[in-house]
Structure 1
C-alpha cells in the first residue's frame, strides 16, 4: 500500500489571535516604558507629586496627601500643640488612612483617622471634615498625661484604641519629616509640583475661608498689587490675583510661622489653585518641574508676610 501522507497542520485561528493580542500588548508595554524613561531622564514634568527629606531619608506623597497633612499640622499648631503632637497625629493618619480622607473603613470607621460615629467621634459629615477630625484627635491626645514623652505607638494607641498599635511605629520617620516642614521648623523643605494650568481660577474668598478654618479667625489674606518682577500678562488674559498673608508672632518665632503658612500654601496649591508662593527670599512656582523653592530675586518679601499668586 502506498504511504498515506499526513495532513498539513495549520495554526488554529484562536492561537493566532492570542499571539497577535500578546504581541500588541507587549508593544504597548514597551512604548509605555520608553515614555516613562524619556520623561524621567529629561526631567519632564509628570504627575503632580510632593516630597520632604533627601536621599534615603525622604518621603514622597501626592498633592491630596500633602493637603490633608497640612491641615492636620495647622490644626495642631493653632491649638498650641507642640511639634511632637503633630508628628503623632501625622503618623496616626498615615497608618489609618494613608493621609486620604476616605469614606469607608472597618465597620463604621471614616476619614483621616478612621474615627467611628458609633463611638462618639461625631457625625459622618463631621468626621469627613479634615479640620474637625484633626481637632478631635488632638482633643483626645491632649488628655493623655505626658504624651510628648511617651513612645509614639503608646501615645497614638491611647487615643485610637487600635487593634494593631505597633503599626504606628513604622510611620514615625516620615511623620517627623512632615511635621518639621509643615510646622515651619524646616524652611523650604517641602517640594511639590501642582497642576493649576487648567480648570477653575483661584478663589480669594476660598483661600481666606480655608486659612481661617485651619489657623483661626486671626489669620487671613489681603489683596496685594502685582508683585515686583512678575512676568507680564499675556495679551487678552485676565490679570493675575495676588494675596498677602500677614505673619504674626507665634511663640516668639515669626520666621517659623511664616514658613508654616508658606508651606501650607504649597501643600494645598492644587486644591486651592495657588500658582506661586513667595516668602522672604525664596519662591515656589507650581509649574516648575523640580517643585523646589528657588531664589525669589526681585519678588522677595520682607518676611512680614507671605505672598501668593492665584491661578487664572
Structure 2
C-alpha cells in the first residue's frame, strides 16, 4: 500500500431468500475476524468465468461485496477491491507485511490510513479502500489494474491484472448480477444440532450489509434486501446478492441451508453442496413455513 492519505471516512419465492443456520458455536468478535480458521472451497461460475477461493477468502470477499452493496457502489468496485486484496494479502486479514503494511489491503499507518488497530478491523480497511477508490476519476472505466494502482501506489503496478478473472467472477455473483453462480463446498454441520438464530448471523448482516432483521416465530430472522441502494427496482438482484453473500459467509456463520431465491436453495454438504429446487433441497418445516408469505426482496435467516 503506497497511498499518502485515506479518503473520508418463482411464485411467492421469486425474490425471497432463506438461510438456515445451524449453530456450531457462538462466533465472537466478527468485526476483527481474520477469516483464517475457515475450511472448504467456494466456486463462482458465471457465463464466461469459473473461479475458486478458499472458504476464508470467500468470507472476506463477501465483506468487500457487502460493504460496496451497502454503499451503492457498482460491481466494478467490488472487482477492483477483490483483485487488490488478492494481490496484497491473498485476501486474508494478516497482521504483517512490507514495512508497516497490515490488513486485507496492506494499508500503512505511516501513510495516513489509520492506526494498526483500525486497519486490522476489516470493515474499517474496506471502507477506507472504497473511500479512496471513489475519488479516482472514472474508475469504473479504467482497466482494473490501473484503478487499483491509483489507490495503492504499488511498486508493482501491473500485478493486480492477474487476479481480474477471479475477482470478476466472485464480484458478479456476490452483487447478484449472476444468480445461482456461487456455491461453497463445506463440511456438513452436526445434524443433531438444533438450528437457531445466533448473534453472529445478525451481526454479520449488520456489519457487512447494514441490514437489520426482525425475529419471527421459529427463530426466523427476516430482513429486507430492498433497504439496500437500488430498492424495489432491483429487488431480485439484491435478493441474489444477499443470498450469495450468505453462502460465502456460511463457513463462519455455520449456515447449513442457505437461501431460497427464484425457488432455489443452496444446501451445505461437502462436495454435494449445490443450488436446487425447494423440493430437491428438502427444507425443514420451519423454513418452508417462513417462505409462504414473502414480499419481493424479503430475506429470511433461520
TM-score under structure 1 length normalisation: 0.73
Q: Does 1:161 align with 2:153?
A: yes
- Aligned pairs for 1:88-99 (under 5 A) are 88-99=80-91
Alignment correspondent of 1:292? 274
Alignment correspondent of 2:17? none
Cα RMSD, aligned residues only: 2.3
Asked if the contact 1:49/1:62 (under 8 Å) is kept, the reply is yes
Alpha-carbon distance in 1 for matches of 2:196, 2:84: 31
Please list every run of 5 or more consecutive structure 2 residues that lacks an aligned counterpart in the other structure.
Answer: 1-38
- Secondary structure (helix, strand or coil) at the match of 2:271 reads coil
CA distances 1:223-260 after superposition (whole Å, capped 9, x unpaired): 2345xxxxxxxxxxxxxx43232221642200111111
- Secondary structure (helix, strand or coil) at the match of 1:197 reads coil
Asked if the contact 2:185/2:272 (under 8 Å) is kept, the reply is yes
Please list every run of 5 or more consecutive structure 1 residues that lacks an aligned counterpart in the other structure.
Answer: 1-46, 227-240
Deviation of 1:202 after TM superposition, in Å, equals: 5.9
Asked if the contact 1:196/1:274 (under 8 Å) is kept, the reply is no
Alpha-carbon distance in 2 for matches of 1:202, 1:88: 36
Higher relative contact order, chain-length normalized (CA < 8 Å, sep 6+): 2
CA distances 1:198-240 after superposition (whole Å, capped 9, x unpaired): 5997652222222112122xx12222345xxxxxxxxxxxxxx
Q: Does 1:69 align with 2:47?
A: no
Q: Does 1:257 align with 2:238?
A: yes
Deviation of 1:56 after TM superposition, in Å, equals: 8.5
- Secondary structure (helix, strand or coil) at the match of 2:158 reads helix
- Secondary structure (helix, strand or coil) at the match of 1:243 reads strand
CA distances 1:64-117 after superposition (whole Å, capped 9, x unpaired): 011100000111121121111111111101111111111111111111111111
CA distances 1:31-79 after superposition (whole Å, capped 9, x unpaired): xxxxxxxxxxxxxxxx621111169832111110111000001111211
Alignment correspondent of 1:283? 265
Q: Does 1:210 align with 2:201?
A: no
Alpha-carbon distance in 2 for matches of 1:138, 1:55: 27
Paired positions, count: 247
Alpha-carbon distance in 1 for matches of 2:86, 2:270: 27
Task: Indicate the structure (1 or 2) with the bigger Cα radius of gyration.
Answer: 1
- Aligned pairs for 1:1-312 (under 5 A) are 48-53=40-45, 57-195=49-187, 197=189, 204-216=198-210, 219-226=211-218, 241-248=219-226, 250-251=229-230, 252-280=233-261, 281-287=263-269, 289-297=271-279, 299=288, 302=294, 303-309=296-302
Asked if the contact 1:88/1:156 (under 8 Å) is kept, the reply is yes
Alpha-carbon distance in 2 for matches of 1:203, 1:225: 11
Alpha-carbon distance in 2 for matches of 1:68, 1:201: 24
| Greater shift in the superposed pair: 188-197 or 298-307 | 298-307
**Cα gap change, 1:308 to 1:246, in 2 (>3 Å):** same
Deviation of 1:285 after TM superposition, in Å, equals: 1.4
Deviation of 1:308 after TM superposition, in Å, equals: 2.9
